[in-house]
A and B are shown apart, each in its own frame.
Chain A
Amino acid sequence: MAKKAPRRTAERILEVTLELFNRFGEPNVSTTLISAELNISPGNLYYHYPAKDELINSLFDRYERSLSELLNASDNVRDVEDAWFFMHTLFELIWQYRFLYRDLNDLLSKNRRLETHFQWVLKNKTRAVKALLDGMSRAGAIDIDSREVEATATSMVVVLTYWLSYEYVRDPRRALEPEHAQLALMRGAHHVLNLLMPYLELGQRQHLMTLVTAYDSSDS
């Protein structure tokens, strides 16, 4: 028998669901809309994902896996340039799964897996940011008192986690549309790293300002 291409219905359902969740918000997307968008029967959708929660869980599992991999790279950050690149990559990942952040409190209140695992996400982000501060400290890029590390890392995680909510409130109709991604992510990365300003070594501080001006000229 000829070798068949792998079956892709389940994968296609996830891809389209992610796109719909990101554009309209999870609470506004019904399984009816998903099956209509895919042009498949309700039975076909239920066969693969009998509950909407299963779609949310599968997408969250993917996010959690990618996030975990990425956060482990924070150990290698030595200077502002590395940190800029790291934050930008992190924001790109968050952007890919922005529906999770758009309706975070709502999702946490109705989905047990998210309720428990999002706490882990925050802890893991904090651990990674601390590793970043530690690496930059050892390389002489920042000078930070060890007693300030915890609070600085927490502030960075808060901005990182809620930046898209801030963008959304500023312009609910357009903020989360793909054409706004680039600037929104840039602003996010800038404001997370701006928290390092008081601790940056002079040359590094100037370098950060140069990066911000070069990439983010239209920041408001």
Chain B
Amino acid sequence: MLSWTPFPFTGAYVYDRVCVAQHWKRLHAGDAEPMPDDDAALQAWAHFHNGAFQSAFESGLDLGPAGITVANKACCVYANYLERSEKSRLALFLETAERARMLATIEPLNPAAWYWQAYALGRYSQGISVAKALAEGLGQRIRAALEETLRLQPLHADAHVALGAFHAEVIDKVGPLIGRMTYGARKDVGLAMYRKALVLNPDSAMARLEYARGLVMLEGNPDSPEATHLYEQAAAIEPMDAKERLDRELAQAELGD
């Protein structure tokens, strides 16, 4: 496999297995992932939190089903934040969606199997253009996978964010009327999802970034003071790991011009 573009702040986070276990609750406040009990899986997660996304991905895959989720998360975070080529990025999302789908067939009660299917397909849809993705029927699949995630794990903050984004994207791309009739997308439900995510995970910069983006889509005002406020909050959150650092950088870039 080609080597991935490295995380730009190498060395900023140096978790080991013990450290990851100690901070597990905070590090996984977004995905409510249960802490694995074997060392190899914890080590793969340590790679993830340190920003060694390729190592996290590869060691996750080596673990079989027990490592699929860390591999999927590493792959999606890498694709979304660091992969420069649009084509490779889309391929990484599709591969993740397929791995997650396979995992859901053997572990149908694992919320992460459903969530990473939805996340990867959602990002893929945005990447090929949401209108095209909806025409290909991906909308229903994404929505169903997110609802299944929340049925299995109602405290999954990130799935609330993704569902909020689903409502916002659909309304933004096909309009409120068709969005509601065809896909059940509603502005109030979308906004409530983002707010619920922030209740579940108040330290999330990512939830604020997505909420701000959703607000701009739904309200149509790129200079929305509410969105600016969310960026300011996101930029002020002290990141606990590599992924959170990338979120903070994004928020700061947004405020920095």
B86 partner, pick from A9, A30, A44, A113, beta carbons under 8 A: A30
Query: Which residues of the other chain, B, contact A30 by a CB distance below 8 angstroms?
Result: 85-86
Tell me the minimal C-beta distance from B81 to chain A in angstroms.
4
Give the docked Cα–Cα distance between A51 and B169 (Å): 13
Tell me the minimal C-beta distance from A42 to chain B in angstroms.
5
List residues of chain B with CB under 8 Å of any chain A CB.
Answer: 8, 80-86, 89, 123, 126-129, 131-132, 209, 213, 222-223, 227-228, 231-232, 246, 249-250, 253-255, 257
A-B contact count (CB 8 A): 75
Query: Which residues of the other chain, B, contact A47 by a CB distance below 8 angstroms?
Result: 209, 213, 250
Q: 18 new A-B pairs (CB below 8 Å) besides A7-B254, A7-B257, A44-B253? A: A4-B228, A4-B255, A6-B222, A6-B228, A9-B254, A11-B222, A12-B257, A30-B85, A30-B86, A31-B84, A41-B81, A41-B82, A42-B81, A43-B80, A43-B82, A46-B126, A47-B213, A50-B126
Give the docked Cα–Cα distance between A218 and B82 (Å): 50
List 6 A-B pairs, Cβ < 8 Å.
A7-B227, A7-B231, A9-B253, A35-B84, A40-B253, A41-B82
Give the docked Cα–Cα distance between A170 and B60 (Å): 57
Task: Please tell me if A81 contacts chain B, counting CB pairs below 8 Å.
Answer: no
| Interface range for A | 20 to 34
Q: Give the interface SS of chain B, mostly helix, strand, loop or mixed.
A: helix
Tell me the minimal C-beta distance from B126 to chain A in angstroms.
3
Task: Please tell me if A82 contacts chain B, counting CB pairs below 8 Å.
Answer: no
Give the docked Cα–Cα distance between A9 and B82 (Å): 18
Tell me the minimal C-beta distance from A126 to chain B in angstroms.
28
